[in-house]
């Protein structure tokens, strides 16, 4: 199709050096001004916004945690009322899971995956912009509701019938359920983009067995999102329908059942844990290879472990329901399937340990966080084996033991690698290094604070403290450990304050990073820091799993992409052989307008079913605008 155009158009083999860069920059640059910023479809711009927004929600969620720790630091405290506390613990869980943990991982993927696979933009960049706006609006919707005292107060799991209209006649559960819809739309969109980017936009020569481990991790995560999130969308939408138009999916008095909610919720909820953890493992693999100064041992083992984890994660949701009165043999089988996931997780840990064993570790802050991750996560995994056991779970379920367990897994397994990743990729994203001195303080405060805050909770659970209680009496012997835990939480919070200080200072006056400050091996380090709008002047050709270690001086490249319009190179799925040049969308305001129309529709429909009627035309209009044939050269030819 494009053969005829060849004679007319300017290709990147015609220019070199600065002239080439300038020309590409002009084509790929986000337009200036406020309108331009709102139109941006650059994965780096969107990714940066995504990361910053997700961290803002981390900060908010963390503040809520501090409020809870103040309330629980002593018995019979009246710092928070029961009503405020219930809103706060619900908001903490929902914010951390839906507005921080999942989005922040996707945010890093949005920024990094196109760079790591050596392409110029993410697949479906306008969908990507739309996804960010939906995430932003959904998060703001939740937090504005909270500020207006309509914050959800039925737990991040919103069990029916407590969350039904009969027992919670306010709008609070609707806000929660619709926030889910927002964030799930955003997450599903990103997942599709990541899968297509990884499958079709890889640099020539990046065969399946040369894909960086972080990219593999995000690929598996994206599939998990696509299979797990529909379950929660079905669940939360039917909850809204039950509450709005009395559909009775969950009403046991008319043929529904409350356990249906639990099955749907946990069929999503358990894979969700791995949606958060698997990207963390990808970050660990990336950081470990760079700072152990050798490739991760067992590349195929790690990938197969990721895939096995993905599959297994769908077969163990019932361990959240061991005390709902299920048949005993069935529950016992879910014990075995839950523990089985220790095998792929264990294999990855063993590969990382072997890598460190053989490597020559350079102890910079990112590696410190990875080592902290191993120590904490293994402990969390082992307490996970305990809670997988039916008899043990009947004691520790819904107690502080479980609170300790999943914070070890989620903070240890995802947040520690994430903070490591911030230190690791900050130079790439901003062009400046974070302070190493503050970084060390940050790590040690986080490591000590975390363990002091969360380890005592294991014991609290065993000595009888249930979760989600806004207070406890003095005669329960829980006061000392709670006080200790609150003290640890304060130290842990301080470590995040230090990270923030470090970021602010380093943004202004950090040392300049250069292209590849860590001498890392993957393609994102082959371009400048921060990368130019076009990512790479020429698309690299990959001949090895660690291209930059193989070829320090000059990376081989392909040429032939257009210099007159946005173009990316599509390659084949397995072998990454070049197939076709493909136009990449120009900036557009329509994703934002569509997101606004969708937001109005979503928020309206928790108040009246008529919103489905009057909310659809604006969405249709914006979508028509979005997909209006733009008359690109490709279309004309």
Between 11 and 543, name the residue whose CB sits nearer to other proteins: 543
Q: Which two tokens stand for residue 562?
A: 């257009």
What Cα–Cα distance (Å) separates residue 487 from each residue in 4, 292, 453? 71, 34, 7
Report the nearest approach of other proteins to the CB of residue 232 (Å): 18
Distance CA 100, CA 59 (A): 9
Between 93 and 125, name the residue whose CB sits nearer to other proteins: 93
Interface residue with other proteins among 53, 236, 281, 399 (CB under 8 A) is 399
Q: What is the per-residue binding string for other proteins in 215-244, x denoting contact by CB under 8 A?
A: ------------------------------
What is the residue whose two structure tokens read 């100064």?
Answer: 293
Residue 568 DSSP class: E
Between 56 and 463, name the residue whose CB sits nearer to other proteins: 463
Could you tell me how far CA 477 lies from the centroid of its own chain? 38
Task: From 162-170, 406-414, 421-429, 492-500, give the range in contact with other proteins by CB under 8 A.
Answer: 162-170
476 near other proteins, rule: CB under 8 A:
yes
**β 557-558/567-571 pair status:** unpaired
165 near other proteins, rule: CB under 8 A:
no
573 near other proteins, rule: CB under 8 A:
no
Between 371 and 569, name the residue whose CB sits nearer to other proteins: 371
Judged by CB under 8 A, the chain residues 521 through 560 that form the site for other proteins are: 521, 546, 549-550
Distance CA 430, CA 507 (A): 7
389 near other proteins, rule: CB under 8 A:
yes
Residue 244 DSSP class: H
Cα–Cα–Cα angle for 306, 311, 315, nearest 5°? 135
Judged by CB under 8 A, the chain residues 303 through 322 that form the site for other proteins are: none
Judged by CB under 8 A, the chain residues 86 through 145 that form the site for other proteins are: 86
Task: From 24-32, 194-202, 373-381, 490-498, give the range in contact with other proteins by CB under 8 A.
Answer: 373-381
Report the nearest approach of other proteins to the CB of residue 395 (Å): 4
Distance CA 108, CA 502 (A): 19
SS3 583: strand
Beta bridge partners of 569: 581
Q: Kindly report the number of other CB atoms within 10 A of residue 217's CB atom.
A: 27
Residue 325 DSSP class: -
466 near other proteins, rule: CB under 8 A:
yes
472 near other proteins, rule: CB under 8 A:
yes
Distance CA 157, CA 146 (A): 17
Task: From 5-13, 140-148, 359-367, 432-440, give the range in contact with other proteins by CB under 8 A.
Answer: 359-367
604 near other proteins, rule: CB under 8 A:
no
Task: From 21-29, 125-133, 224-232, 292-300, give the range in contact with other proteins by CB under 8 A.
Answer: 292-300
Q: Which two tokens stand for residue 419?
A: 């903070």
379 near other proteins, rule: CB under 8 A:
yes
87 contacts 153 by C-beta, under 8 angstroms: yes
257 near other proteins, rule: CB under 8 A:
yes
Interface residue with other proteins among 40, 197, 207, 383 (CB under 8 A) is 383
Residue 294 DSSP class: S
Interface residue with other proteins among 83, 564, 577, 637 (CB under 8 A) is 83
276 contacts 410 by C-beta, under 8 angstroms: yes
Residue 542, CB-side half-sphere exposure with 13 Å CA sphere: 30
* Dihedral angle of Cα 426, 432, 433, 439, to the nearest 10 degrees: -70
Task: From 49-57, 271-279, 457-465, 488-496, give the range in contact with other proteins by CB under 8 A.
Answer: 457-465
Between 129 and 302, name the residue whose CB sits nearer to other proteins: 302
Cα–Cα–Cα angle for 562, 565, 566, nearest 5°? 90
């Amino acid at each position: 199709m494009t053969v005829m155009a060849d004679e007319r158009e300017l290709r990147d083999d015609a220019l070199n050096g600065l002239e080439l860069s300038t020309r590409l920059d002009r084509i790929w640059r986000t337009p200036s001004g406020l309108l331009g910023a709102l139109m941006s479809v650059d994965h780096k711009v969107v990714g940066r916004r995504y990361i910053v927004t997700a961290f803002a929600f981390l900060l908010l969620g963390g503040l809520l945690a501090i409020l809870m720790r103040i309330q629980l630091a002593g018995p019979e405290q009246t710092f928070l009322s029961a009503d405020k506390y219930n809103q706060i613990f619900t908001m903490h869980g929902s914010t951390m899971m839906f507005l921080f943990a999942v989005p922040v991982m996707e945010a890093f993927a949005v920024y990094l995956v196109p760079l790591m696979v050596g392409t110029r933009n993410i697949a479906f960049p306008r969908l990507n912009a739309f996804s960010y706006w939906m995430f932003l609006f959904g998060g703001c919707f939740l937090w504005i509701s909270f500020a207006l005292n309509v914050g959800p107060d039925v737990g991040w799991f919103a069990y029916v019938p407590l969350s039904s209209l009969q027992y919670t006649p306010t709008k609070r559960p609707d806000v929660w359920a619709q926030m889910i819809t927002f964030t799930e739309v955003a997450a599903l969109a990103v997942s599709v983009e990541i899968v297509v980017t990884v499958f079709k936009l890889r640099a020539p020569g990046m065969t399946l067995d040369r894909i960086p481990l972080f990219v593999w991790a995000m690929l598996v995560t994206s599939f998990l999102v696509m299979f797990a999130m529909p379950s929660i969308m079905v669940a939360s939408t039917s909850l809204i329908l039950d509450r709005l138009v009395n559909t009775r999916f969950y009403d046991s008095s008319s043929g529904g059942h409350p356990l249906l909610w639990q099955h749907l919720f946990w069929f999503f909820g358990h894979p969700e844990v791995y949606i958060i953890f698997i990207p963390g493992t990808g970050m660990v693999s990336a950081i470990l290879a760079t700072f152990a100064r050798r490739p991760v041992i067992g590349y195929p083992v790690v990938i197969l472990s990721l895939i096995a984890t993905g599959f297994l994660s769908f077969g163990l949701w019932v361990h959240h329901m061991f005390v709902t009165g299920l048949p005993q043999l069935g529950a016992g089988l879910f014990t075995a399937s839950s523990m089985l996931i220790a095998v792929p997780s264990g294999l990855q840990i063993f590969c990382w340990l072997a890598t460190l064993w053989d490597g020559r570790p350079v102890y910079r802050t990112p590696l410190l966080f990875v080592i902290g991750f191993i120590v904490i996560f293994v402990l969390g995994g082992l307490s996970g084996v305990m809670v997988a056991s039916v008899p043990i779970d009947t004691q520790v379920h819904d107690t502080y033991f479980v609170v300790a367990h999943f914070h070890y897994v989620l903070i240890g397994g995802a947040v520690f690698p994430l903070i490591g990743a911030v230190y690791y990729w900050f130079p790439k994203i901003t062009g400046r290094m974070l302070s190493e001195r503050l970084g060390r303080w940050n790590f040690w405060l986080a490591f000590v604070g975390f363990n002091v805050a969360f380890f005592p909770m294991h014991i609290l659970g065993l000595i009888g403290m249930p979760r989600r209680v806004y207070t406890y009496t003095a005669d329960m012997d829980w006061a000392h450990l709670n006080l200790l835990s609150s003290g640890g939480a304060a130290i842990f919070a301080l470590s995040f304050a230090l990270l923030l200080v470090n970021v602010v200072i380093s943004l202004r006056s950090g040392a300049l990073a250069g292209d590849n400050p860590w001498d890392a091996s993957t393609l994102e380090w082959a371009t400048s820091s921060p990368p130019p709008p076009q990512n790479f002047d020429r698309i690299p050709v990959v001949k090895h799993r660690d291209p930059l270690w193989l070829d320090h001086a000059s990376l081989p490249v392909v040429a032939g992409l257009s210099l007159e319009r946005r173009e990316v190179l599509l390659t084949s799925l397995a072998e990454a052989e070049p197939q076709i040049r493909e136009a990449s969308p120009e900036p557009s305001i329509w994703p934002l307008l569509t997101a606004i129309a969708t937001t109005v529709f979503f928020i309206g429909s928790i108040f009246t079913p008529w919103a489905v009627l009057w909310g659809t035309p604006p969405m249709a209009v914006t979508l028509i605008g979005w997909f209006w044939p733009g008359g690109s050269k490709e279309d004309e030819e």
